[in-house]
Amino acid sequence: ARGALLFASTCAICHGDNGTGTDRAPALNDPQRLSTFDNDWYRATIRNGRPAKGMPTWGTVLSPNQIEDIIALIDAWRAGNTVQPAFDIGELLDSAIFSLQENDTESAALHINRALSIASGKGADVLENAAAQLVAGDTEGAIATLTVLKEQWPLGEAEAGAEIFQANCAVCHGKQGEGGIGAKLTDNEFIQSLNNADLVAFLLEGRRGTAMAGWEGRLTPEELANVVAFLRTWQP
């Protein structure tokens, strides 16, 4: 997993996600190539680069342990396994915005497409809009769209959140958020003070020393994002 994430952040821009290749560099996750070259060859190539072919020298950037993580990923490919990195959409949005600010539209498109591969609902719709702006050459528009999305991330579905709330939260907080064992959630200053990401993190962890237990392992971050979207409907 470490090698997959490292490959995604350093190598995939040229060699493609999961090593499938691009028009800039060949596929590495290729049975013939994997059987032709052993790990020592890959290790030396990563460390020393191939400057004549445009491949950087990664030995001055990556630590020996990081290079071994990439070698482990290559071993997984050789065994026929697909290893996907655990992308975080918030981090991908940051990377896409930074790339656009640096006028690196190719990297920005890669980050947006990665985010689209794991996003759903409203978030996916906004990402599609940003991708279309990028294709149209509207870099400033894409930056603005992604910046707003980052500030509001994660975007949930209030209707789905209402069902989750009634099934899991209403027993303490009341069906209408009026409070009971738990706090009143309508017009709640605490909810209003946090962004969506911080609220999801709070719900995952809970509040120590109180009856508010964390939901990690019981509800997914996506489900909690839906709950947050529903809670927003009770705020002024």
Report whether 160 contacts 189 (CB < 8 A). no
Q: Give the C-alpha separation, 91 to 204, whole Å.
A: 19
- At residue 2, the pLDDT reads 84
Poorest-confidence range of 139-143, 190-194, 219-223? Answer: 219-223
| CATH 1.20.120.1630 describes domain 2-78 | no
Options 1.10.760.10, 3.30.1280.10, 1.20.140.10, 1.20.810.10; CATH of 158-232: 1.10.760.10
- At residue 1, the pLDDT reads 67
pLDDT in tens, 87-123: 788 889 999 999 999 999 988 998 998 898 888 788 8
The letter for the amino acid at 169 is C
Q: Which two tokens stand for residue 201?
A: 């993190």
At residue 65, does pLDDT exceed 90? yes
Phi-psi region of 231 (alpha: psi -120 to 50; beta: other; left: phi over 0): alpha
Domain span(s) for CATH 1.10.760.10 in the chain: 2-78, 158-232
pLDDT in tens, 130-179: 999 999 999 999 999 999 999 899 989 999 999 999 999 999 999 999 99
